[in-house]
Amino acid sequence: MNKKQLKNTEWSILFCTIILIAIGIFALYSASISSELEDFKKQIIWVIISIPILIITFIVDYRTMAKISVGFYILSTILLIAVLLTSAINGATSWFSIGPISIQPAEFAKIAVVLFLAYILSKMSRNEINRPLKLAMILGIVLVPVLLIVLQPDYGTAMAYVFAVAIMLYVAGIKKRYIISALLIVIIVLPLLYFFVLPEHARQRIDVYLNPYLDPRGAGYNIIQSKLAIGAGRLVGQGWMNGTQTHLGFLYPKTTDFIFAVIGEEMGFIACSSIIVLFIVLITRAITVAKTARDDLGSYIAAGIVRNTNISCFRKYWNDNGTFTYNRCTTTIYKLWRKLNDYKYNCYRITFKYKFSTSKINFQLRNTAPFDELICII
């Protein structure tokens, strides 16, 4: 890693991540006191494991990782098949239990699918992506892990895959007719899934999510108690390890699904608001990375990882001449000659006269992180 790469690194993403991990560790310690810190110890192990992985992904070029993504995808698919043969935990066969640690293959498969799909899309032009056979192949790549995850069953994770693919295809320039068709299919299929496909407990979850007071002593109990816990925290909270709802057994499972309620009760509104702000910063900076990636592959990977965000701010339109537009005023032309990186351009300007309709376009060449880009200001 050279000085230029360090300079162009989005340190704000790393900073937000470290703070969120720290808050989570403190909250998890308090929430797992009653279980002799079992979940806390597991989390510490995963944090330690994640540090070398973070360093490796920080150093290794994403294009290198994309080249081996097919192997990662195949391995993840095999693990998703194998996990179906394990014993169910909480009604789902989603985890491998290795001693005190539980591993969920679907989480690793998310990264594999994003990398592999980004690699495939980067090898295609816009016209190829919009061909029915090519589009069917792309959807098939995602359909395999999605169906395996639905069989576990884990509908929430399956929906995350769908969001990721939708965003990546949107960024890649899929035609509007496909988007409209997909929306119409969703509108038609969702009611059918709800009434005829989803099991009773899944429908109950949806109903209770919309109105927990339909079953306040049953399925809606945990949601109601979590709201009470957050409300009890008020502005600054009841104090670390002093939450009444947390330590009197009203929140379950407090170390996973309802850890935010633990934070709200013990650290208050200020801590909860800070977490939301940190996530907003994290997501917006990730969107910036997707916008300013040096090539399509980087853009697709970043867009897939930021799958649950509003992507209207970095929608990309490809033109016939190979350029793409992020808004009405600016057109960015990527993929400049690699030789430009060997020169030191510092506020160097070149001006072209180019007729675009009746307007003249001023081109400004500038050296910006993480790559040289040609900005065309209309």
Picking from 274, 292, 310, the residue at the C-terminal end of a domain is 292
Residue 297 lies in a domain: no
Q: What is the DSSP string of 118-131?
A: HHHHHTS-HHHHTS
> Are residue 185 and residue 334 in the same domain, yes or no?
no
CA atoms within 13 A on the CB side of 187: 6
> Are residue 188 and residue 233 in the same domain, yes or no?
yes
> For 129-159, b where at least 16 C-beta lie within 10 A, e where not — what string?
bbeeebbeebeeebebbbebbeebbbbebbe
> Are residue 11 and residue 123 in the same domain, yes or no?
yes
- What angle, 0 to 180 degrees and rounded to 10, lies between the N-to-C axes of helices 132-150 and 155-172? 160
> Are residue 164 and residue 89 in the same domain, yes or no?
yes
- Bridge-partner residues for 253, per DSSP? none
Instruction: Compare 218 and 19 and report the one with higher pLDDT.
Output: 19
Kindly report the number of other CB atoms within 10 A of residue 258's CB atom. 24
Q: Is the pLDDT of residue 61 over 70?
A: yes
Residue 310 lies in a domain: no
Average pLDDT score, the chain: 76
> Are residue 201 and residue 331 in the same domain, yes or no?
no
> Are residue 95 and residue 141 in the same domain, yes or no?
yes
What span, in angstroms and rounded, lies between the C-alpha atoms of 227 and 217?
14
> Are residue 203 and residue 268 in the same domain, yes or no?
yes
> Are residue 252 and residue 360 in the same domain, yes or no?
no
pLDDT (average), residues 12-22: 89
- As given in the structure block, the two tokens for residue 175 are 């035609």
> Are residue 10 and residue 63 in the same domain, yes or no?
yes
pLDDT (average), residues 332-355: 34
> Residue 29 belongs to what domain range?
3-292
Q: What is the DSSP string of 326-351?
A: SSSSEEEE----GGGGGS--SS----
Residue 243 lies in a domain: yes
Kindly report the number of other CB atoms within 10 A of residue 119's CB atom. 21
pLDDT in tens, 349-375: 333 333 333 333 333 333 333 333 333
Residue 304 lies in a domain: no
**How many folded domains does the chain comprise?**
2
Predicted pLDDT of residue 283: 85
> Are residue 179 and residue 328 in the same domain, yes or no?
no
How sure is the predictor about 319, in pLDDT bands with cuts at 50, 70 and 90? very low
Picking from 246, 273, 292, the residue at the C-terminal end of a domain is 292
pLDDT in tens, 226-251: 999 999 999 998 988 888 888 888 88
How sure is the predictor about 4, in pLDDT bands with cuts at 50, 70 and 90? low
> Are residue 278 and residue 341 in the same domain, yes or no?
no
Residue 313 lies in a domain: no
> Are residue 71 and residue 197 in the same domain, yes or no?
yes
Predicted pLDDT of residue 207: 86
Residue 299 lies in a domain: no
Instruction: Compare 310 and 154 and report the one with higher pLDDT.
Output: 154
pLDDT in tens, 271-314: 999 999 999 998 888 888 888 887 888 888 888 887 644 333 33
Q: Is the pLDDT of residue 222 over 80?
A: yes
pLDDT (average), residues 90-97: 79
Taking alpha carbons only, the member of 140, 138, 149 closest to residue 81 is 149
Instruction: Compare 117 and 313 and report the one with higher pLDDT.
Output: 117
Classify 280 as helix, strand or coil.
Answer: helix
Residue 300 lies in a domain: no
